[in-house]
Amino acid sequence: NNTNQDCSNTHDLESPGFCGLLGLEDVEARSSLLVIKHLLPPYVGNTRIRVVDDGILPPTTTAIVLVCSNGIFSATWLLETLLAARELGAAILPVTIQTNFRFPTSNLESELQGLDFRDDVAITDVANLLREVFKGIAININAQEHMRVLAASVDQLKTRLAEQDAMPNGKRGTSWRIMAKESTKSNKSRAGVVENSPI
């Protein structure tokens, strides 16, 4: 489809940075993902923003916006895409779209056991990555919110992406969470910030 072509075209592969919007394919997750894409500019700094549909990431990937809805921890293709992003040194920024989103628990390895991963994927690697991603602060973006609240949440996401874009290679990944905590202490209630449950 057109989105897949957008994700893999020559312009994206040659751009200084690539940010993938990643989520499940159900109606709720898809609509939220498209709302986020609509409200974000095509570029943040030198980073191109596109939807990832096929699980294929260009080598210039610097960030993944993970649209979190219940069921993401059982989608092997999505989890394998996250592992690929981390291997590229990309930051993974979680965005929750459900008030009842279930964060990873201490039983995460057991929950991942029955999934059909590729032979080269270790469940412990997947579990450790998910715990790392959800240690920090997630932004909550509800597509049904008033446009002013929705725009404020997306602006906060844009700020985090801009911080990532300004970082040199090798410095991305986990350090965005430190800056996010400092920049969101005063406006958590209005900008959709969610303190993740301890794991």
pLDDT digits (tens, 9 = 90+) for 27-65: 999 999 999 999 999 998 888 999 998 889 999 999 999
Q: What is the mean pLDDT of residues 66-79?
A: 96
Q: What is the mean pLDDT of residues 81-100?
A: 94
Would you state the pLDDT for residue 197? Answer: 41
The pLDDT mean for the chain works out to 80
CA separation for the pair 91, 85 (Å, rounded): 8
**Residue 82 pLDDT exceeds 70:** yes
Length, in residues, of the chain: 199
Q: Per residue in 121-135, is it b (16+ CB within 10 Å) or e — as a string?
A: eebeebbebbeebbe
**Contacts of 176 by beta carbon, 8 Å cutoff, 6+ apart:** 91, 93, 136, 160, 163, 164
